[in-house]
Amino acid sequence: MLGLRFHHHRLRIMSSKRVLRSSTGTVAKITAAPPVQVQPANNQPRKQSSRNPRAKAQKTNISPLDQPTIPPPKRARFDPSVELQAPSSTLVENGITPSREYTNGVSDTTNLTPSPDRPAEPHRTNAPLITPRGSRLLTYSKDTVDRSPSKTGIPRATTTTGHILERACSHLTQQEPRLQPLIEKHYCRVFCPEGLAEECDPFKSLCSGIIAQQVSGAAASSIKSKFIALFHPSEDGQTSQDQAFPTPSQVAPCTVPFLRQAGLSERKAEYIKGLAEKFASGELSAAMLINASDEEVLEKLTAVRGLGRWSVEMFACFGLKRMDILSTGDLGVQRGMAAFMGKDVKKLKAKGGGKWKYMSEQDMLKHSEKFAPYRSVFMWYMWRVEGVNTDAVEHM
């Protein structure tokens, strides 16, 4: 048996060798490659990363349940409804978080960006105003936010720009639950935190309103570009609204014929010149519009030729971001309120009725009184009832 096994083993070795003869008679021996050895399967678990709490538990013989679980870091998202934390050196009163960037009516903060959350009050100017010299004015400053109204001449701020729209919508729905679907469908960007951060140049905004009176949007845009070009002549003759709007001190000395070169009517040229003179003399100013009450703003501006009550109300609402304005003379607001109260506006239109064809001023004031001090927001939603496009007045 041993001899037979040795014989078979020898035959296997000999069969693994091949002899090749070349054309020259040389012999080359090629030995078969040794068999590949297969490594035994490794049933050991893969080495865990040191960052894995389970691997640490195996090393230290501690149960994985006893190891603290560290969740992966989440990317922070900006939520405009969350107030910013106040710096340690600022004062916080009545739930208002002031910022280091707040300025009063005389400080120049040209290079500062308005805080996304700052004190606000429905009956005051909530937009940053730009003066002819480029300064930025805010109603509430870090020096006045905690002072007595008897010393500052303005009421205490009751909320912030990050919360005032939420508070307004909550008040509207409490007074009239039927407004809830309308509010959920349309987001009021005018009074949202981003909207309240938009800067307003009072002189530019009021001039743009005069230019846009009784003309189409395209015509108003063309006249405005030509008006700006009067003070920024270009060699190629092209005009652009990207150039700086002229200041009151630039416009006031101009003659009416010169201003009419922009395509203005004689009456509108007189209006703009008179407005510029009032700003240049200091009778009107951004500081006055910051400190004035709603009634004072309407009284001061309607005294200017060319500025009717409707124009001033639109400026107070969309420019100054005052939140308790209701334009009873606006047909869109009349139609919206009438439709919201269940009236057939088509029949009302057919009957005529002059300026108050859809709803009387007395009825509008009576039914909107409960929405104070957020009647500007209520008015904006009444426009939405009738699908009125307010882009023209929102971006004057």
* Token output for 382: 């009444």
3-class state of residue 353 by DSSP: coil
Where is 388: in which H helix or E strand?
none
Output the CA angle 58-62-68, nearest 5 degrees: 100
Mode of pairing for the β-strands spanning 119-120 and 129-130: unpaired
Residue 363 annotated among the catalytic residues of the structure: no
Any idea which residue has 């139609």 for tokens?
Answer: 335
Signed CA dihedral, 11, 14, 16, 22: sign only: negative
CB 348 within 8 A of CB 357: yes
CB 322 within 8 A of CB 294: yes
Backbone φ and ψ of 120, nearest 5°: -145, 155
Integer distance in angstroms from the first to the last C-alpha of the chain?
112
Choosing from 330, 344, 363, 391, the catalytic residue is 330
| Nearest in space to 208 (alpha carbons), one of 227, 189, 194 | 227
Distance CA 57, CA 80 (A): 43
Distance CA 124, CA 155 (A): 8
Signed CA dihedral, 277, 278, 283, 288: sign only: negative
Instruction: Please report, as a single letter, which amino acid is at residue 133.
Output: R
Catalytic residue ranges: 330
